[in-house]
Every structure is written in C-alpha cells, then in structure tokens.
Structure 1
Amino acid sequence: SFAYSLGEPRGSSRDGSTYCDVLRDVTGQRVPCRTSHATCNACIYADLEALSAPYSQASRGAIQTRVLHESVTQDAQLLEKTMSYWAALWRNGCGAPHDPYQTQSEIMPLVDGQSWRETWDEQQNERRRGQAIKVTCQGELIFSHDNKGRPFIHCEFYDKNSTRDHLLDYSPDAGLYDIDYLRALFNEDREEILAIEEGAKTLGFDPSSCCTMVTNHTSVRVKCPRTHRNQDGQLELAPMTRLRCSSLFRVYQPLEEYRTVCSKVLVVCSGQHTHPIPLPTKTPPHIRNEIFNILRHMDYDLPDLTPRRFLRHPSLLKYVESQLSNCHHPTLTDVHISLANRDHLRSYITHVQKLSFPLGTGWRGLLHLKNVHDLELPPEHRYVRLATEFPRISESSDGQEDEDSSGSPFRLVICMFPESSRRLKKAQYLQSDVGFKRIQGFQEFELGGKDMKSNITLTYCRIFLTRQTAAAHELVFHEINRIVESDTGSPLKWRHLHGTDLNDLTGILQWTSDQHGGQAKGLGLHLRQLAQQMPNRFDLHEPHRPLSTLTEYDHLRRVYRLCAVHIFRNIKTSPVNDSVKNMMRSLVCIEHSDFQGTVQEIQTS
C-alpha cells in the first residue's frame, strides 16, 4: 500500500502491448503488463512555504526525524491533553438527551462570546459535511470543586436528585490534566492562559506556533483535527487547504493470467513532491500483532468485546504501561496514533473473534465449541457437558408454571467439571437460585451448596435454558443426575428415598430455592420419577405408603425449603407500622391458624 494519495489526471492501458524489462517470468521472458498512471495529489495556520519544500527521496530516517521533531516533553503533553480535553467538551457539549423544559440557560454569555458561539456552530456544521446533528442538551459546562476540594466538570442542568443523566465528569481529579490551565480555559481567563502558554513554550507547547498537520488528499476532513485558537483566544476549527503536487506515478502490473509466473509489481515515480513526506497512518505490523495477541488471550471477555471495553481492559492497560513506562497516564493512542480510531480497533476485535469463534457466538458457535472441547480437551477439563435442543415438550398443564405457548424447541446447556460432580455427589444441603439473565434468549440458574469441611459456598454447575416450565426443569434435573452418574459411577442419592431410617443421613437432606413454581414442581416430578423405580420401598415419614405413590408435592414437603430472605427484607422496608409487619411475618409458616383472616386484616390496615 502507498502512503501517497493518487488522483487526476490518471489513466491506464490493459491491452497487454506493454512490456517491462524488470518484470519477467521464471524463464527470464518478459510478460505483458497492464500500465496505469496517476498524479500525486493543509490548515490555514500552517507554514505553507515550509510544507511546500520539494523533495525527491523519502526514507525511514527522514520520517523518524520528522516525528522526533514533532515530539514534546511530558509537561507539554500534559498541556496538550488538557487543551484537547477542553476542546472535546466544547465540541460535544453535555451529550444528554434534549429536554424541552431546559432550553433556557441560566448563564448569560458575554456579547463577544455569543458571536463566537454562532461562528463556532457554523464551523461545526461545515465539519459534519451536511450530516444531521443529534439534538442534545445545550446547557453550559462548568468547572467546579466539590466539598472535598476535588475538581470536576458538570452541566449546569445536572442535579444528583433528579436530572442525573447530564454530564458529570471527575476525570480532572485523576491527575490526567493540568488543573490551572483547565480552570483558565473554562473561565476564559485570557491573562492566565497566555501566562501558562508563554511559560510552556520552552517545553515544546505553543498553540500559537505554525501548524504542521498534513493529511492525505483522499482524507474527508474539511477541518484541521488539531486545536487552534484565534487572535482573541477563542476556539476555532481551522479549514484545511490543498497542497498541489505534479509528481507522476506509473505502475506496471503483469496481466492476470501471467501473475502466477510473475508476482511482482513495478512502481516508478517521476518529479519532485512539493509537500512533506506523508507519515504512515496504518498501525505498524509488530504493534498490530501485539494487539492481536492481547485479544487472543482475553478468553471469556472476547465474545462480547467492544472497542470501549477493550480500551478499559486490564490486559491492555498493563501492555500500554509496559510500553510507555516513563509516560504519565499513558493511553493506547500514545503507543501509535492510528489506534485512536475506534473503527480500526473494532476491525481488529472482529478479526480475532472470527478466528476464535468461526461459527459466531450464538447457538451454532456454542455447539462448535463443545465439539472442539470434546475432541481436544481431557475429560477433567471439559466444562460444557450438555448443549442440545429438544422438540416442544408435551405436558399436561394444571398450573401457570406449566404453561408453554412457545413453538420453538427447548434449548438446554449444562456446565460443570467432573470434579464438581464428585463434590455434588457428597453434598447434603443444596441451593439453587433462578433469575440470572446474562445471555440474550436464555435464563440461567446456578446449583450450589455449602461445603462443610471448608465452610465455604461452592457452585457445582450452571444451567442455561430457554424455558422455565416444570417439564423443562424436570428434564434439567434428569440430565444433571445422568452427568453425575457418568462422572462418579452412581447417581445422586436422596435421604427420603435411599435412607434406611430417619437417622440415616444418606444423600441430599435439603434443597433450598426461591419461590419459582416451575423449578419447584420440576424437582418434584423428577423425584417422583425416581421413586417409581423403587416399587418395594416405603416412605420413612409415612411407613404405610410406598414411595411410588407419593406425588410431586409429597416429595417437595420432605426435602424442599423455600428461601424467605427476600420476603423478610421486603417486610422490613415496607412503609407500614410494626403490628402489620408482625402479621406479615406470621404468614411465613407451614400451618397458620387463620391465614385468610390475617391476609384480609393486612389489606385493610
């Protein structure tokens, strides 16, 4: 690729009548070529005479000299960041949604400030090249200090008790900017601004110096991206002007049918260039490879990674700090200016995502990932144990928790390591929690419990499912039991099913869960199915009843416990008197002397 932009006049010849002595095949014979030629195609604050100095040779050393000449000290970088931050806030404003009731600013601008704002709006419209602007809050941005002395920027309409969607930025307190310079810019204190900039000239920071910004001819910019101020010290978007160049590029390419025997291309440039050597705008290959390497090692953060999340990721921050250890608060842009373009970062992320997840990150991608793990990983390291879908589950609906009006297949994913199966096999007090929705289209619940030896809570498995009916949960518990049996050699045991007497503490003693009807009944249906496989065993609590005659609710009464934490927490925060709260608490019991009467009394209180 070329750093030089090519334009009119241009032309080409494809008849194959042109031959070049340089382009030959493996036998040394010249190959017919296609020829094409094109002509090599600054800001009003630039030194046009210096920018138009001719040259006829470009080298890596010349580019390094130019970059080194433009580099500044750390103190100057701090001031440049401060001005860029201030300019960005002025360009973008508050950014909050437009509120028709907050159109009138309470801050009265000066007369010259009002005229400058009108000019500024016109320059903004030119920069957007006719693109429609999103109407946002027009409130003034204010530099302030809080009661702890911390500096921050806020919109005049921001209110922590009501309009919290307006701008509130505490980044000035993080040491990223020069506070004195930032305060002077926001307060339009011209004397202080000139004093700071005059003292910083020796450091390499001089906003009044000639601009050295040059972009390619194909750039769509109509305004200089660097910050400029006019003679009155007000922010200005300086227009870009065009530098003419008459250098001619001629390109010789073998015809397509000859490119297998001659894969080279000859580029000849004639005439002097009357503009600076264009700086490379593409990310250098070694930096790009390092970015790819960081992305490949992000594991589970990669599937839904965005440029914004990537810029804040600890792995990237560690890399930037290692590359620029002497820089104060370095960013990825400091590594290379091309990385400031988020579209470039998005393309890098997309490239690595396609390599890591060739079938995407949806259902097909998950099935592919499971197949890869089953083939490449040892059994102890396999986490996704089941990822399958079932046709519509047929069930007799006798309650709201059984309703299944969806015609789509039921998808189920169970994630657990074989070691977790062994721990689950030994567990006696289990707990399940429903309500996680981290994956679009799936509900999630986890199955965990307390390890009595270590006295810590462990998560044994995570279940992702697209339906929460009783039949769906019955299938979930059946599959978990099958996986445990496959890993340990025997299925899960339950005290009321496998115990010999009431003092035999074999198997699971208690299952605690929230009040989700589908999960509770699904567990009862699973236990009823297990009990029907034991026709000769009798119930421990009702010795005259065979286990096979117990209903799903009979099984739940023997092992299932509802979590009441949320109930008591809501009662505690309820805006009623203590006597009513006590009546509410009395309802949480197995049997109540007057349940309906208490409910009516609570409703009338």
Structure 2
Amino acid sequence: MDLARLLNSPEPEPPLVDISAQLASLATLLGPGNVILATPHVRVALINLVTRLVPVPTPPITPQPPPNILLDHPLAISVQHDVVVNQRMTVSELYKYPLGVSVEYPESSAQGVGHLFQIAPDDWSNPTLDFLYSKGEPRGHSKKGEEVTVPFLRDANGDLVPCKVKALKFALNMLLPLETSSRKRAFIAALRKQGCPAPHQEETYFDSDEEEEQLAKEEHQRKIRRGYVPSVVTCDGRLEFSHSFNGHPVIKCEHYSKTNNKDHYFNASINDGSFDVNYLTAVFEEDQEEIDYIENAAHALGFGPRVECTTVCNFSVQCTICPFDHRDSEGNLLQLEMNHLKCCVVFKRYEPLPEFRVACPYVLVVVKGLHPHPIPLPSKVPPKIRSELLELLPQFQEDLPDLTTRRLLRHPLLKSFLTKKLPNVLNPTLSDLHFSLANRSHVTSFIDQGTAWNGARYFFNQQTLQRPLADRYIRCMVELDPGELDVHPEDEPRSAKDPPTLRFILCMGFEGSERLLSCQYVQSDIGFKRVIGFYEFELAGWERDAKTYDYDGKLLQWAADQHGGQAKGLGLHLQQIAQQFPQKWDLHEANRLLALLSPYEHLHRSFRLCVTHIYRNIRKCKVEEAIRHLMRSLVCMEHPDWDATILKIRNEGGKAAQAMCWEKSFMPEDVWKAGDRTSNLIETAHADINREGVHCTLVGGILKGEFYDNFKMKTLKVFESSGIRPSYATGHPSENVLKNLKRKFSTYHKGLESEDHKIADANKKIQEAFEKFQKARQKIQARTQPFTTRRHTPPPKKEEPPRLTRQEPLWKRQKPSIPKRFLPLRTSWRAE
C-alpha cells in the first residue's frame, strides 16, 4: 500500500508513534543547493503528511538566573552569614565592600542578601545606581520622625545611627522576544515597514476590507515608530510581485511605470541569490499551501516564523516591537509586540541621615527575591565612570563641540587619561574602561545641548551669567524673519532650500572691538566652509601703531573682494549711520547732505576693490582678449576715456566697477596710494583661522574663533611690549615686495612650463600620426610598383614631421632697444 492511499484511508488511525528520527533523516536531504525531484503524487502525499503531524508541545523556555560567577563578589572584603537586620528580616549573607567599589550584579536570594557599601561623606552617592537591573517605581520609604536603626550601622562610639529606608521594586527587566532569522523574512519586514518610499502623488483606491486593513497597518506602524510622525508623506500604493520581460522576478509599486512614472519603488535584484524567491512569491501571492510547506520545513530545522523566540533584551532599550516577522494566533505574518518578563525582586536601601553620615559612612542595600530572567547586558555606564568622563570633557576646550567618536578615541587627552587609568593595558580604549563604552553612541549623549543653534544659545546664556562684560565673546544672537526685512532689486530671490529664519551671531572680544575703532584701513571677507550651515563675515586691519606715531582714529579705506553682498551691505550700513546726522553736509560734495546719499554713493568715499581678485575674475570672463585688456585698463589712478571704455565693455557682455579707479572715487589721492591694493591681509587671516578647522559645528566654530582671536591679541600685546614678533621675518615692506615678485615669477614660469608640456604632447601626437602616415604610404607604394623594381628600389628618405618649437619670450623678437624688464607676460609658438 503506497503512502497516498495510507494517508487517505478511511480506516481507524493506529496509535501515534514518534517519527522524529525519520524526519531528521529526510531533513539531511535539504542541503544547500540540493534540488529533490519527485512525482506530483509524492508531493501531495507529503503535504497530507505534514497536515497530519501532531507536534508534542514543549514547555516554554524559562530564562535561567545569572551564573554563579557573577554572585561571588570578589571585591567584597568580608562575608557574614545569617545576619539580623531587624525583627522581621534576616539576610542569608552580608557582603561588605570598601570605599570606591562598584557592584553591577548584586546577589539576591529568597531570604535576602545584604550589601554594605562604604561611602565618602564629602561625596555621598547612591550605590544602587551602579546596578544594571532596571528599577521600577518606589514601593515606600520611611517618613520624617519614623527613622529606623540597623544593628551594624553604628558610629565610632558604638551608638546606633538613625537611618531612612527606601524600598524599590525591580522593573520588568527583560523583553521577549527578539529572534534571529533568515534574510528573506527581514526583507519582507522591511518592505512592510517602508512600503513605497516615493512622495505621495497618486491616489490609491481601497475597498472596505482593504481600508480596514490599511488602518490597522497604519496603527501598527505608529506603534513601531513610537509616536514619531514622518515629515514626508509617502506613497500608499500596494507592492506587487511580478516578472519582467526576460522572466526575472521583480517587486514594484502598483503606480510604477517604466515609461512615465519611474520614481516609485522597483526592485529587480531579488533574483541574485540572496533571497528565497519561492517564499517571496508565496507571500505576495498569498499561496497558503506553499507558505505552510516552506515554513513547516523551516520549523523542522529550528528556524522560521513558527519557531518560538528565545532571545531577550534589556528593559531599558527603546525597541518595543520585534523587528522580524512572526505568526500570530490567527496565522498572520506580523511584527509582534515584545512581552515583559515579570520580576518580583525587591531591594531596600538603608542610609544614615545627613547629619550622621560623617560618623557612619555606610549604606546597606538588601536584595530579596529570585530573578526569573537572565542577567541584563552591561549597557549602562556606571555613575562613577560617567562622572570621570564628564569631568574630562571640559578639558578638550575648543575641540569638544566637534568631537566625533573617532576623534575622541584618538585624541591625545583621552589616550593620556586611559593610560593613567589602565597602566597595565596596552593601547587602552574606552571599552577597556567599561563594556558599555564599546557603544560609541554614548559620546553624543554626554553633550545634551547639542552643537548647533541651541548649543550656541546655551553657551551664550552661560557666558552671560558667568563672565564679566569685558570677557564675553558672543555679543549678541539674533533670529529674524526674512519676510520682515527690506528687499532690494539686487537681492537674489529666496529658494525653498533656504532656512525659514535668518540667524546672526556677533562674536568679538572687548580688546578686538577697541582696536577696530582705532583702525584706519579695514579689509573684509566672507568664509563659506568654516562653519556648517553658516557664512562667516570676517574683519581685519593692519596695526598701524607699530609703524607710525601719527593716527587720528578715522576709517580711511575699506578693501574687499568682488562679492556683491559685502559692498552693498557696507553701503546700507553707512547709509543707516548717516541717518543719525540729518543736518551734516558731505565733505566731498558740499551741496549735499550725508543723510541723502545712496548706499553706492557712500561706497565712493571709502570702499576699494582688491586688485588681485579683479585680475582673477577678468581671467575667468568668457570674453575676447581685447575686452579683457579694456577691463584691466580700468585699474588705474586716472583713465583717459572712462565712459567710452565702460560702454564698450557693457556692449560686449562684460561688467565693470568704479571701486577700481581713483578718478571715479572721492577718496583722497594720498589715501588711495597709501592704502592696500589687495585684500591679502584678510585672505591670510582667513587661511590662518581655517587651519584651526573647517566644516565645524556652530559651537565648535565659535570656540575655535575665540581661541584664535585671543591668541592673536596676546601675540600683538607681546610685540607691543617686548618687540618679539610671531616669526623670524622682520615684517618690513621690502620682504613682502620680494615675496610678491618671487610669487609672480613662479606663477609666470609655471604657466610657461604648462604650455611647454602641451607643446610636447602635441609634438608626440604629430610624430605618432606622421609615422602611421609613412607606413601607410609605404604599403601603398609597395603594392603599386612592379615586382622586379620593388627589390631594387631604395627605401624612401625619411621625412621629419613638423615640430613645434618651445616657447620663447616675445622680448627676443623685439628690437634690442626695449629693456628686458618690460617684457610682456605673454608667449607664443610657431610651426617651422
């Protein structure tokens, strides 16, 4: 009788027998990559066999208590047995610990175990905070006037010390279940959680049953996110399982279209061998027969969604939903909520009243009950180690806000701290200090205020409370609504990527502001990469007192590059100041009031563009060389035909500015000549502070800027008092001129070398092309000549390809009367 007839027979079934050995032998055939072929009748018989199997229920797995190795407490200096605490309590053991000992896994028993800790009176702490077991709500404490005494808590004279009692119950310490699973179920869980990540655009229509299922799904997703509401609403389309034109399985959103809607979810990589395509097909097509067959086979091997979970996690974790799929009581494949294991262990803490702690510096903790769960993971940093790290962090100073985990681990200050703390460990790390610090995310939890705007606001408030006015570095913090500000025609329109508010922070020391008031020649620049998300407007000026005794404290010149925001902002600021003097007349145009001048008219009186930036921007202009020559001619003291030159430049598509010619400015000629032609000073200061760090956080940029400014102020003070300069350079203008000449010649020479390399590459290509041409011509000639003459024909004379000569300065081709020092900065080459 075959197996199918046996299973379908109407005769009474015989008694059940154990066939585990036979199933185990069948399971050995399911090796990786094995394909077992059988007839359809055998497959139907196996399906019927699976439905008739009756598994014997196994008792639920009970987590084991902590191992004994953690209950020995080797740090205890003494152990007593059967010690009376009061009339109603006698502990089986009493462990006594010296000063500074931290216990993470206190021993407990049904009768109760006592732990006596010695505490420093001047640094009183709660030893129960070191316990890794999560503690629940208080169960009661002694009231004032109802203090108790403990026989072994006495002062130096042997008198009993009054103590207060606090009782706490251990929280539900463990969560079940978290299980390990195969990649396919993790993939299905991720798809169910994410869905189609495309923005919500098309409407998805559901019937009544699907609508109810969709609401239940959204509620379940809300539990998984623990109340977090996503900022972007994503597509709610169904994920479908189908096949491409070449027969490969794909998973895609129902709104996906290859021709006109490609932004929806589409995954064609599921056939790369990473997933079980048969199981994915059965789940998406709701083939319950195939699902039962695959999952029952997996259950027989000890894995799958129908196997009982055995993995636990700490009560303090934020995860409340199992990240993998399980079968619920109704057979649905879901991510189920994790259950709490109850723990009835209670501990009582006896500590002397504050006025008796010096006489009796001990705390007694009694732990009563048995833990029905495994020990928790050491994921909590002990308070003593945490306090030591918090005391260490301020020593990082300006490096603290920009500390990442990697930067902290390799910082010399932390290495020195760990070496002193752990002298017997080679190359110690934070994980050697405590296991929980292997989780590098603990670093971010130590800086609770953050390092962005809120962190800067906190630093500003602390500075206001703790520092005198003269020592404050942050002068003000302002947050403005862009809609309330004036709009000018030159302003760029705001985009959707711009922040909703404009935030300004003014940072300047007291001494720096005093020196700015006495500065005559000022330069400015805008930094774009030092602080993430912020532009940095910087001011700098020459210390003229080191070179002359005569100064009047008036601002004579402001130099900057061609960034439009700087010049326009300075003009608006000067116009606002001029409004305070409505009856004051202009010095340069005596018939006009200062209050009536426009922003650009104010710039005519003090603003000057950097010549280096002008020439650099002229080189970048996409115009003819003749127009560039006209642009360069504007950089002068006086121009013979300014208006016609400006008109010609504008007609050719270029731009011009009046802050490059003294004739078009109201600045005195002596001031123009004495002022700086370039903004090298602010560019040097900008590059110098960038060495302190770029791409910093806001708080990190502020602290590093304060360190840099203080360093510069102290260096300047030392020079003024002792004549010691910050380098061996004398600072004489001749050194700067010599360096400038060398730099110009080096730049000029590098340009010539670059052109020579281009010529050499061109000659190489010409030579290769000419050799190919010669070979081709020889082949053609060999085929066209008769055989008799071919043997006696001499080889053709090798021709030299045209070569490009190396560059020669143009002054070699000019008349000898022209001096070499006036050679133009241009070169030429020709083909011979």
Question: Scaled by the length of structure 1, what TM-score is found?
Answer: 0.44
Question: Scaled by the length of structure 2, what TM-score is found?
Answer: 0.35
Tell me which structure has the larger Cα radius of gyration: 2
